[in-house]
Amino acid sequence: MATYEYTARDETGHIFTGISDDVKGINALRNEFTKIGYSLLKIKRKKKFNPKYISVKRSEIIPFTFKLAGMCSAGLSIVQSLDTLEKQTENRSLQYIIADIKKNITTGSSLTDSFGKYRNIFSDFFLGMVEAGE
């Protein structure tokens, strides 16, 4: 099974992007979208990232934290903020972490639990502050 990034158009002409996990192939994804009335415009296989090799410097976490706080203070949702930060960061490890945290939150996990999976990256102080804010 593979992961694909796609751009699609719905019946009203609205164009949107997304990621689909555990797909057998491009034709299977195309068939799924055709069934619901969407047409795929662009498909790209996403390379798997090996979480064993996660390396994020503290000097990258600090700006991430400030940007996340600023976006949330400006009224953006956590998911919107994480989505924006995921697109802006250049470190693939940090992108992977942000994407995983975002996915966990959208599936119902708490913010504390989502960040807590990465205790080796985020300090206990950071996790305590997230928990207090939550």
Alpha carbon of 30 to those of 10, 16, 27: distances in Å?
Answer: 13, 15, 5
Half-sphere exposure of 5 (CA within 13 A, CB side): 6
Q: Are strands 15-23 and 39-46 parallel, antiparallel or unpaired?
A: unpaired
- How many domains does the structure of the chain reveal? 2
Three-state DSSP class for residue 32? helix
CATH number, domain with residue 62? 1.20.81.30
CA gap 23, 77 in Å, rounded: 29
35 plus 60 within the same structural domain: no
Q: In a structure prediction context, what are the per-residue pLDDT tens digits for the chain, which is 134 residues long? A: 777 888 889 889 899 888 777 778 888 888 888 898 888 889 888 776 665 667 789 899 999 999 999 999 999 999 999 999 999 998 888 998 999 999 999 889 999 999 998 888 899 999 999 999 88
36 plus 58 within the same structural domain: no
Give the per-residue pLDDT at 49.
61
CA gap 77, 68 in Å, rounded: 10
**Any idea what DSSP says for residue 16?**
E
SS3 content of the chain, % helix, strand, coil (to 5): 55, 20, 30
58 plus 99 within the same structural domain: yes
Give the per-residue pLDDT at 53.
66
Domain span at residue 114 reads 52-133
56 plus 112 within the same structural domain: yes
**CB 101 within 8 Å of CB 126:** no
